[in-house]
Chains A and B, each alone.
Chain A
Amino acid sequence: MKKLFKSLAIAGILGALMSPQAMASGDGPKNAKNYSFSFEGIFGTFDRAQLKRGFLVYQEVCAGCHGLKLVNYRNLAEPGGPEFTKTEAKAIAAEAEVNDGPNAEGEMFDRPGKLSDKFVSPYPNDEAAKAGNNGALPPDLSLITKSRSGWHGSLKSLYLYSLFNGSGGPEYITSLLAGYADDPHGEEKEGLNYNPYFTGNWIAMPSPLSDDGVEYADGTKATVEQQAKDVAVFLAWAAEPKMEERKKLGFMVLLYMLVFSVLLYLVKKAIWRNVKH
Chain B
Amino acid sequence: MSGHSTNYEFKNPAVKWLDSRLPIFSLMKGQAMDFPTPKNLNYWWTFGGILAIMLVIQLISGIVLAMHYTPTADLAFNSVEHIMRDVNYGWLLRYMHANGASMFFIAVYIHIFRGMYYGSYKEPREVLWMIGVFIFIAMMATAFMGYVLPWGQMSFWGAKVITNLFSAIPFVGDSVVTWLWGGFNVADPTLNRFFSLHYLLPFVLAALVFLHIWALHIPGNNNPTGVEPKSGADTIPFHPYYTMKDLYAIVVFLMVMAAFMFFAPNYMGHADNYIPANPLVTPTHIVPEWYFLPFYAILRSVPDKLLGVIAMFSSLLILLVLPWLDSSKVRSGKYRPMFKWMFWIFVFDCLVLGVVGGNPAEGHWLIIGRIATFYYFLHFIILLPLVGLMEKPKPLPASISEDVLAKSDAKSS
Nearest-neighbour CB distance to chain B for A45, whole angstroms, equals 14
Chain B residues 85-100 with CB under 8 Å of chain A are 85, 91-92, 95
Contact A169:B258 (CB < 8 A) given known A264-B244, A277-B39: no
- Residues of B within 8 Å of A148, CB to CB, are 271
Nearest-neighbour CB distance to chain A for B155, whole angstroms, equals 13
Quick check: A275 and B348 within 8 Å, CB to CB? no
Compute how far the CA of A126 lies from the CA of B134 in the bound complex, rounded to whole angstroms.
45
Q: Which residue in A42, A246, A271, A276 is a CB contact (below 8 Å) of B91?
A: A246
Binds B, one of A48-56, A106-114, A202-210, A247-255: A247-255
Confirm or deny: B344 has a beta carbon within 8 angstroms of a beta carbon on chain A: yes
- Residues of A within 8 Å of B255, CB to CB, are 254, 257-258, 261
Main secondary structure of the interface of B (DSSP, over half): helix
Chain A residues 32-81 with CB under 8 Å of chain B are 42, 70, 75
- Residues of B within 8 Å of A250, CB to CB, are 258-259, 261-263
Quick check: B263 and A253 within 8 Å, CB to CB? no
Give the bracket for the number of chain B residues in contact with chain A: 35 or more
Q: Which residue in A17, A249, A261 is a CB contact (below 8 Å) of B262?
A: A249
Quick check: A261 and B251 within 8 Å, CB to CB? yes
Confirm or deny: A1 has a beta carbon within 8 angstroms of a beta carbon on chain B: no
Q: Which residue in A13, A18, A70, A268 is a CB contact (below 8 Å) of B245?
A: A268
Q: Which residue in A163, A246, A267 is a CB contact (below 8 Å) of B92?
A: A246
Confirm or deny: B5 has a beta carbon within 8 angstroms of a beta carbon on chain A: no
Confirm or deny: A192 has a beta carbon within 8 angstroms of a beta carbon on chain B: no
Contact A254:B259 (CB < 8 A) given known A146-B271, A272-B241: yes
Nearest-neighbour CB distance to chain A for B55, whole angstroms, equals 20
- Residues of B within 8 Å of A17, CB to CB, are 352, 355
Quick check: B81 and A70 within 8 Å, CB to CB? yes
- Residues of A within 8 Å of B187, CB to CB, are none
Q: How many residues of A contact B (CB 8 A)?
A: 48
Quick check: A167 and B81 within 8 Å, CB to CB? no
Quick check: A272 and B245 within 8 Å, CB to CB? yes
Nearest-neighbour CB distance to chain A for B37, whole angstroms, equals 11
Compute how far the CA of A258 lies from the CA of B259 in the bound complex, rounded to whole angstroms.
12
- Residues of B within 8 Å of A169, CB to CB, are 271
Nearest-neighbour CB distance to chain B for A161, whole angstroms, equals 11
Chain A residues 132-152 with CB under 8 Å of chain B are 139, 142-143, 146-149
Nearest-neighbour CB distance to chain A for B318, whole angstroms, equals 23
Residue of A with least CB distance to B347: A10
Quick check: A162 and B85 within 8 Å, CB to CB? no
Residue of B with least CB distance to A172: B271
Compute how far the CA of A246 lies from the CA of B84 in the bound complex, rounded to whole angstroms.
11
Quick check: B344 and A6 within 8 Å, CB to CB? yes
- Residues of B within 8 Å of A18, CB to CB, are 355
Quick check: A146 and B266 within 8 Å, CB to CB? yes
Compute how far the CA of A242 lies from the CA of B94 in the bound complex, rounded to whole angstroms.
12
Confirm or deny: A4 has a beta carbon within 8 angstroms of a beta carbon on chain B: no
Confirm or deny: B275 has a beta carbon within 8 angstroms of a beta carbon on chain A: yes
Nearest-neighbour CB distance to chain B for A21, whole angstroms, equals 11
Confirm or deny: B40 has a beta carbon within 8 angstroms of a beta carbon on chain A: yes
Q: Which residue in A6, A42, A146, A245 is a CB contact (below 8 Å) of B274?
A: A146
Quick check: A143 and B248 within 8 Å, CB to CB? no
Q: Provide the A119-133 mask, 1 if CB < 8 A to any CB of B, else 0.
A: 000000000000000
Quick check: A277 and B40 within 8 Å, CB to CB? yes
Compute how far the CA of A271 lies from the CA of B240 in the bound complex, rounded to whole angstroms.
7
Residue of B with least CB distance to A242: B91
**Closest 9 CB pairs between A and B?**
A250-B262, A147-B274, A264-B248, A146-B274, A143-B274, A268-B244, A261-B251, A242-B91, A149-B271
Add 12 more A-B contacts to A143-B81, A146-B266, A167-B267 (CB < 8 A).
A10-B344, A70-B81, A162-B267, A246-B95, A249-B262, A250-B258, A250-B259, A253-B262, A254-B262, A276-B39, A276-B401, A277-B39
For this complex, 7 residue pairs linking A to B, each with C-beta atoms less than 8 Å apart, are A143-B81, A147-B272, A147-B274, A167-B267, A268-B245, A271-B240, A276-B405
Q: Which chain A residues have a beta carbon within 8 Å of chain B's beta carbons?
A: 6, 10, 13-14, 17-18, 22, 42, 70, 75, 139, 142-143, 146-149, 157, 162-163, 166-167, 169, 199, 239, 241-242, 245-247, 249-251, 253-254, 257-258, 260-261, 264-265, 267-268, 271-272, 275-277
